[in-house]
Homo-oligomer: A and B are copies of this chain.
Amino acid sequence: MDIATIVGLVVGLATIGVVLIMDGGSPAELFAHPSAIILIIGGSLSATVITTPLKVALTLPKYMIQAFTTKNFNAKETISLLTKLADRARREGLLALEEDSKKIKDKFLQKGIMMVVDGVDSEQVEAILETSIEQMRARHKYGAGFFAAAGAFAPTFGIIGTVMGLISVLKQLDNPSALGESIAAAFLATLWGLLMANLIYLPISGKLKANSEEEARNRYMQLEGILAIQAGENPRIVGEKLNAFLAPGDVKSDEAANAKGAKAPAGRAEKAQA
């Protein structure tokens, strides 16, 4: 479960409710005119569906679930795994990784290591895995783009609803007693358009985009590691390369390990010359 999404949503809705009550109203008023809700949701989704390939529109629920779940990328664990594999590859050769590769749970990493074991050419490995990351990114873009488009359409349909409401109000100016109530109802559409866009559509789009960037970053780190292993690079350099993806603060435990290595300067110098 992605806690940030849920906390944000709950707090956001609670804020709206509290403010309505503080101002002497009640959250129920938001639902007084269902036509506003129908217009906003119906209008924004149908406009977005036109914009979108059918295939994407059909996988919409999948994208919503993705925004509420977290993929956990434990970068440090991945780095320690790749460094270990680099070490073994150097000592026992690339074929020795066959056993290890079967135990890797991450499909992407496993596929990469298996290609290395199979002796696939380094440039091909890079091309295949990079295509795979970039195409993943392109697919993710559809999901984030769907909600971004819906978030752009929703406030406009809110204004459409309010203008439609005002037009019918203006035709009935002879009944001034109901005037205020009718104008209020007209503005409800604007309110729903803004709320749907700013509490649902746009934040979900932002979350999907952030998740996609996080995953791509992690994949590129794995790709870097796989290529370094294939090139037979020094495990310490592999570690350095991968740690460069982390914030300085996150590498401390690793630096402790380096410090330990520093006690054996001879060994280090030998490795570094490789």
Interfacial residues, chain A to chain B (CB-CB below 8 A): 2-5, 7-9, 11-12, 14-16, 18-20, 22-25, 29, 34-35, 38-39, 42-43, 45-54, 57, 70, 107, 115, 118-120, 124, 127-129, 131-132, 135-136, 138-139, 149, 153, 156-157, 159-161, 163-173, 179-181, 183-185, 187-188, 190-191, 194-195, 197-199, 202-204, 206-207, 210-211, 213-214, 217, 224, 233, 237, 240-241, 244-248, 268-269, 272-273
Contacts and interface: CB of A to CB of B under 8 A. Distances in A.
Nearest to A18: B38
Given A164-B20, A184-B167, A194-B160, A207 B138 contact: no
Given A129-B244, A237-B124, A51 B194 contact: no
Contacts of A156: 194, 197-198
Contact of A198 (B23, B157, B165, B203): B157
Contacts of A269: 118-119
* Closest A-B pairs by Cβ, 8 of them: A51-B206, A50-B203, A15-B42, A8-B50, A12-B46, A173-B180, A8-B49, A131-B244
A184 B199 contact: no
Given A50-B207, A153-B198, A206-B149, A191 B171 contact: no
A86 B207 CA distance: 41
* Number of copies of chain A assembled together: 5
A2 B50 CA distance: 9
A184 B164 contact: no
Interface of A is mostly: helix
Nearest to A271: B118
A168 B48 CA distance: 32
Contacts of A139: 247
Nearest to A124: B237
Contact of A42 (B11, B47, B268): B11
B171 A181 contact: yes
A181 B170 contact: yes
Nearest to A3: B54
Given A118-B269, A187-B163, A38 B19 contact: yes
Nearest to A34: B22
Contacts of A166: 184, 187
A188 B207 contact: no
A45 B171 CA distance: 31
B187 A49 contact: no
A70 B55 CA distance: 11
A72 to B, nearest CB: 11
A118 B129 CA distance: 31
B179 A163 contact: no
Given A51-B202, A168-B184, 13 more contacts: A7-B46, A8-B47, A19-B35, A23-B165, A46-B199, A50-B206, A51-B206, A118-B269, A135-B246, A149-B206, A166-B187, A169-B180, A171-B184
